[in-house]
Structure 1
Amino acid sequence: MSERLDAWPELDHAELAPMVDYVNRIVQVAGKYTLDDPFEAGWGNIVLDVTPRGLGTPTFRHQDVTFTVHYRLLDGDVVIETDRDERRVPLPGESVASFYRAFCEAAAELGIHRPRTSLICEIPGAPATFEDDRAERTWDPHAARLMWRAENLAAGGLESWQAPFLGHRPRVGVMWGGFDLSATRHRAQPTTPPRNAPTFMQNAQLNAYVSVGFSFKNLPDRPSIGMYAYIWPQPDGLEGRSWGVEGATWNADAGLVLLPWEALRETKDPHQAIVAFGDAVYQAAVETAGWPADLVGPRVDGWYASRTPASTLQQLRG
């Protein structure tokens, strides 16, 4: 029990909130480059990968330069890497404005244009742009490591949940606007987004989808860290359902199924609990919204192919 709880650390919202707020803002800087990439359903093109040391962008191919940006949370810096060279931008003791200035200067040295927009999005109460955000920030290495551990563990569970889905499923990653780790399943069913929704939501809701993810701020009105899920469009009949894991509940006001981090880490196997949680949400989509059950294939272990002799594989094929 104690070994499992150590692997899935306790997360204190008050302790992590300042760093979550800071990192949410600075990852939007490189995230803006994804807005120039080919659009995928549900903004699947924009997500940041959870890497061995932090969060990384996809590879960008812009005119004469190919590059990536790696937010190394465990090292307290940002690495801009191109096919010719790289630059490192330190994070400790920076405001968002000073980080943005240093980032753009480093990018220019590598032949990379600055992001075409500097607007800060999806953060209530934030200044309008990166240049306007001059509040001094303190880099907390302990909080940064806890953030990475939580996202890394949650990503592993979400990737296992996604694996057997046969439809369109963008890679699991961090949506840098709202800073949630997201796994989505899409179906080709056109929907009508709310007319008063912002552009990013209008585009996200062009077709039906099921979203399961992890967030450091699940509910805007009170501290909460954990897994969330929802079905778009939201069907009737979600009240009173079982959500696969003890402690998972439907929050009608938020339109979310919530599984608090503390409830997750106390399960016998948190990794499998994430899979069970996602499966229960998808089953709800099947039963209440007509999603096809046959879009989910069997979960197989791949025969642990890297450890299986080629002769055995030949016998299996034969």
Structure 2
Amino acid sequence: MSTSLHVWPRLVYEDLAPMVAYVNRFVQVGGKYTLDEPFEVGWGNIVLEVTPRGLRTPTLRKRDVTFTVHYRLLDGDVVIEADSGSRTVPLFDESLAAFYTSFCTAVSELGIRRPGSSLICEIPDAPTTFGDDRVERHWDRQAARLMWSALNLAAGGLEEWQAPFQGHRPRVGVMWGGFDLSATRHRARPTAPPAHAPAFVQNAQLEEYVAVGFTFGSPEAPDVSMYAYIWPQPDGLEGRSWAVDGAAWNPHAGLVLLPWAALRQTADPHQAIVAFGDAVYDAAVETAGWPSDLMGPRCDGWYMSRTPPSPVHAQQR
């Protein structure tokens, strides 16, 4: 039995789905503030950082106040921390509408205006706005801890995968709309997004990119898994090896999927995520003409602080 089974928790979509639905809705409230920030290619400006306690917005600097919104999954609350003070809003059995009211009251006491939009995004069949969602949701501390554990472990692997890439790479973080953990690598080659797609999707696809991430699944695809894709999707992805047993190309979804259950069976899931991401990037090089010379050395900062650069470094993977 892999020792990783004791560290990487067993995740079952049906068990986590109610809390995923809860958190997905509630993080959109603070997440809306990120839309005020300058747009970064691939929506790199909006992602929520995975912290030691939960999920947090970037530092948001306004004319009159600087603040962050921290969804502390392990504590069951939301901390708004600003130069003008701090406020804590508890998370418990309540509706999104009730939380939104409490949140707006808390931020107003700190001199922060309410979010610029109350629209619920990317959740099929959800009510239109935060105030319309009056379904009471149950806060499950155990499920919240499992969610944080999965996001934290996956983020560690994705951050190591991203580190040596020398092109544009936004921070690894949670996209609060679709609620997936995402790591993307971009190259400045314009693409033609589908004209029928929403504006935010078209703006996400302004240039070519490789994405590797983690998802809790959905009713249509109820599998907790790592995922990856190349935009635009090239030919030649069928029948490839993706470096980790259990990883496979799903042509219907347009994704390479590595089920969480298979990942946790590996001897070292952290390194398996890195190997999975490397295999996806290799596929982009071989099938879509991505440059192979954008990879720097994969080593720790102490090594680089003591070692003069050499041509060998550029070849290390």
Shared fold by TM > 0.5? yes
Residue-by-residue CA offset, 1:261-307 (whole Å, 9 max, x unaligned): 000000010000000000000000000100000011121233357xx
Are positions 1:47 and 2:33 aligned together? no
- Name the CA distance, whole Å, in 1 between partners of 2:219 and 2:238: 21
Q: Percent identity?
A: 74
Residue-by-residue CA offset, 1:186-243 (whole Å, 9 max, x unaligned): 00000010000011111000000000000001x5523110100000000011111001
TM-score normalized with structure 2 length? 0.95
- Name the CA distance, whole Å, in 2 between partners of 1:199 and 1:244: 35
1:1-318 to structure 2, matched below 5 A, reads: 1=1, 3-217=3-217, 221-303=220-302, 313=306
In structure 2, give the amino acid aligned to 1:156: G
Q: What's the secondary structure of 1:188's corresponding residue?
A: strand
- Name the CA distance, whole Å, in 1 between partners of 2:81 and 2:297: 39
- Name the CA distance, whole Å, in 2 between partners of 1:122 and 1:84: 33
Contact 2:70 2:80 in 1 (8 A): yes
How far did residue 169 of structure 1 move? 0.3
Residue-by-residue CA offset, 1:14-54 (whole Å, 9 max, x unaligned): 11000000100000001000001010010000000000000
Contact 2:70 2:79 in 1 (8 A): yes
Q: What's the secondary structure of 2:130's corresponding residue?
A: coil
- Name the CA distance, whole Å, in 1 between partners of 2:35 and 2:83: 21
Q: What's the secondary structure of 1:293's corresponding residue?
A: coil
Are residues 220 and 207 of structure 1, via their aligned partners in 2, closer, same or farther at CA, if it must alter by over 3 Å?
A: farther
Root-mean-square deviation (CA, aligned residues, Å) is 1.4
In structure 2, give the amino acid aligned to 1:228: Y
- Name the CA distance, whole Å, in 1 between partners of 2:205 and 2:192: 7
Residue-by-residue CA offset, 1:170-201 (whole Å, 9 max, x unaligned): 01000000000000000000001000001111
Contact 2:2 2:265 in 1 (8 A): no
Residue-by-residue CA offset, 1:56-91 (whole Å, 9 max, x unaligned): 000001120000000000000000000120000011
- Name the CA distance, whole Å, in 2 between partners of 1:243 and 1:189: 25
Moved more, 291-300 or 252-261: 291-300
TM-score normalized with structure 1 length? 0.95
Q: What's the secondary structure of 1:195's corresponding residue?
A: coil
In structure 1, give the amino acid aligned to 2:287: T
Q: What's the secondary structure of 2:233's corresponding residue?
A: coil
Moved more, 60-69 or 220-229: 220-229
- Name the CA distance, whole Å, in 1 between partners of 2:289 and 2:268: 30
In structure 2, give the amino acid aligned to 1:130: F
- Name the CA distance, whole Å, in 1 between partners of 2:101 and 2:243: 47
How far did residue 2 of structure 1 move? 5.6
Unaligned runs of at least 5 residues, structure 1: none
